[in-house]
Amino acid sequence: MLVNPTQKIFENQDLKTAIRIVWKISAVLSILILLVLFFVDDNQLLSISPTCYYQKIGKECFLCGSTRAFIEIKHLNFENAFNLNPFSISIFGLLLLNSIVFLNFIKNIKTKL
């Protein structure tokens, strides 16, 4: 009988546990990013945001402009957000989705107890 290598990987309990831990950490960080975005003043947030190393040398990375773009998304200015960083809307959506899934996961754990 042939075993699918992907199936064998996901049968490994240690790997499942490691992936779950990494997901939980990323979910908590997603929630923290969203909380800071919505509860810290925009000007203060911009003042404490570090300048990207690549911007200092005259280049841009794929995350350049994300802080300003997230602020624009918060104010529902999606076109401005896209102009600041084309990936920002997708990244924001993934952060939001990850947070919602994690909070639902936590809620389901509490209801089982």
Does any domain span residue 1?
no
Does any domain span residue 84?
yes
Pair 81, 69: CB distance under 8 Å? yes
Does any domain span residue 95?
yes
- Which among 51, 50, 52, 90 has a CA at the least distance from the CA of 70? 90
Both tokens of residue 41?
Answer: 């003043």
Domain boundaries, position 77: 14-112
Q: What is the rounded average pLDDT of the residues 3-20?
A: 76
Number of domains in the chain: 1
Does any domain span residue 3?
no
How does pLDDT run across 62-88, given as a tens digit for each residue? 888 899 999 999 999 999 999 999 999
pLDDT of residue 3: 59
36-39's contacts with Cβ under 8 Å and 24+ in sequence apart are: 37/70, 37/71, 37/74, 38/74
pTM for the model: 0.79
